[in-house]
Amino acid sequence: MGLPPSPMLTRVNEFIGNVHGDEPVGREVLMQLAYWLCDNYLKDPLATLIVENTHLHILPSMNPDGFALRRRGNANNVDLNRDFPDQFFPNNDDIKQRQPETRAIMNWIKQEHFTASASLHGGALVANYPWDGSRDTRKQYYGCPDDKAFRYMASMYSQSHYNMSLSKEFEGGITNGALWYPIYGGMQDWNYIHGGCFELTLEISDVKWPKASELLVIWKQNKMSMLNLVASLVKTGVHGRIFAADTGRPIPGSLMVKGIDSKINASGTFGDYHRIIAPGQSYEGRILTFLTWPSFLFKRKENS
């Protein structure tokens, strides 16, 4: 959803629902989001900002077979959110052993060069961020290199929500995955490591199977959270292109930020890169190219 991609600095974001077949509320909320953006483009400033500055992919159901069977797993009864290769269990990296839905998502992530993502779940009310597991498998806070940026994203969602930030179980309505309950083989961590995609896992309803009459209420409770999350990624961070001055063709390269042990690669199509930075941070970054050009150093303070 959005205007056709162009060499302009277009962020590519995604929402994924119904990862677990018995958590269908996300698929309904995402269809409402798509309808709202289409109906309000050029009418509502927020809808217009999102459509004109992002390329938003919406996948209402990652697990249609599980939904039809009213169970967590897919047609093979495999939990798709435990099926991705995991950084702490490298012996589980064989792509051929993955489920069809998992392989499709992995190929999609690598193809589209997503900036950010969120998967919608049910059964709790909290915004969850990486890492989802720890090296020693203990339940503990285990932050990823971009912990500040992820906490900013999670807080943006929680604070824009009807009551998520008021949670008595989770301070501010957000949680580190490994501190809540460690999982391995999750989509969230894989997307960040292998796709450079900053993904949240959003638990948007305490009730997994709400009544049909309650779906519109849940949509309204999450509407501004979803819109503000996407809009915030337009207004913050580092965005640019790496290209040859003489031909305008993209040059393979990446962006590194001092003090953060992760990199964001530029897309192969337009050479654009998008790095999420939490507001209020001062940072120093370096553009690295994979050819003979030297690297470029820059400094900037992200406004709060």
Please report, to the nearest 10 degrees, the dihedral formed by the alpha carbons of residues 19, 21, 22, 27 taken in order: 60
171 is catalytic: no
Angle at which helices 100-112 and 187-195 cross, to 10°: 30
Task: Please give the C-alpha separations between residue 161 and each of 84, 102, 216, 224, in angstroms, as whole numbers.
Answer: 29, 29, 15, 7
Burial of residue 251 (number of CB atoms within 10 Å: 0-12, 13-18, 19+):
middle
C-alpha–C-alpha distance, residues 155 and 60, integer Å: 23
Tokens 């640019």 -> residue: 240
28, 203, 214, 302: the catalytic one is 203
56 forms beta bridges with 13
294 half-sphere exposure, CB direction, 13 A CA radius: 2
Which of the residues are catalytic?
203
